[in-house]
Amino acid sequence: MWAELRDLRDGVDLGTPPRDGPDVTLTIDGVSVTVPVGSSVMLAAARAGHAVPKLCASDTLEPFGSCRVCLVEVEGRKGFPASCTTLVEEGMAVRTESEKLAALRRGVMELYLSDFPAEDIPGGWSEFHETLQRLGVTSHPYGTGENHQASPVDESNPYFLFDPAKCIVCSRCVRACEEIQGTFALTIDGRGFESKVAAGQDQPFFDSECVSCGACVQTCPTQALVEKSLFEGEYRHAQSTEA
């Protein structure tokens, strides 16, 4: 359903915008692929049919490299670079799947789940839920600690709502507001655990400079920003929903 809402071509988001330039040929999991210079490894992997899991990346936005789900291995290099911010090179050999990569990705997703409404995990249709399913993550090993589950839902806008409990602070909404709409109505306020998406001067969305264009809603990977029309009746925060 997420792909349908995004109106993705062939259901595939390339992760980073296509580039123009001379061709570069590399291998992704042994598959040869040719893409323009300046392209990301993530885009090349998608072109090769080996799309890398991601959360902060989208082919409508410039690469950001914050979610750490899209890690890959590059032959001859140490570490596990983010495929969205790593540019292709002639002859590069990339590996997108391995036991180590799978473990790293699962660890990242488990951290996200530790501050995500448990009631909203089953049956979800967002990109976040699709990534959980792809990586086989359904729970996390952490106890109940400080979290954002009591954060109030902002329903001030007549067209969409913002549920901070589902926000992973990936900055896609902020970047869409800036790069697609040019409104600059959203920012990331605070640091560390206190980081949050803020509209205007930390105002309700309807009172801010937001023009209700929907760019932030369309790009949100977790349903934190979501159209009100998708819900019948009153939206209720997952944690406070009565059985």
Q: Where are the domains of the chain?
A: 1-145, 160-230
Closest CA to 36 of 8, 17, 58, 13: 17
* Predicted pLDDT at 243: 34
The model's pTM: 0.89
* Predicted pLDDT at 123: 80
Strand residue runs (E) in the chain: 23-28, 31-36, 73-74, 93-95, 160-162, 186-189, 196-199, 225-227
10 Å CB burial of residue 110 (0-12, 13-18, 19+) is middle
* Predicted pLDDT at 183: 94
Strands 160-162 and 186-189: unpaired
| 14-48 tens-digit pLDDT | 999 999 999 999 999 999 999 999 999 999 999 99
* Predicted pLDDT at 237: 59
Q: Is it true that 1-145 and 160-230 share their CATH fold?
A: no
CB atoms within 10 A of CB 59: 19
Q: Which fold has domain 160-230?
A: Alpha-Beta Plaits (3.30.70)
Closest CA to 87 of 97, 99, 77: 77
* Predicted pLDDT at 10: 55
CATH level 2 (architecture), domain 1-145: Roll (3.10)
Rounded to a whole number of angstroms, the distance between the first and last alpha carbons of the chain is 26
| Per-residue pLDDT in tens (0 to 9) along the chain, 243 residues | 444 444 444 567 899 999 999 999 999 999 999 999 999 999 999 999 999 999 999 999 999 999 999 999 999 999 999 999 999 999 999 999 999 999 999 999 999 999 999 888 888 889 999 999 999 999 999 988 899 999 999 999 999 999 999 999 999 999 999 999 999 999 999 999 999 999 999 999 999 999 999 999 999 999 999 999 988 877 875 543 333
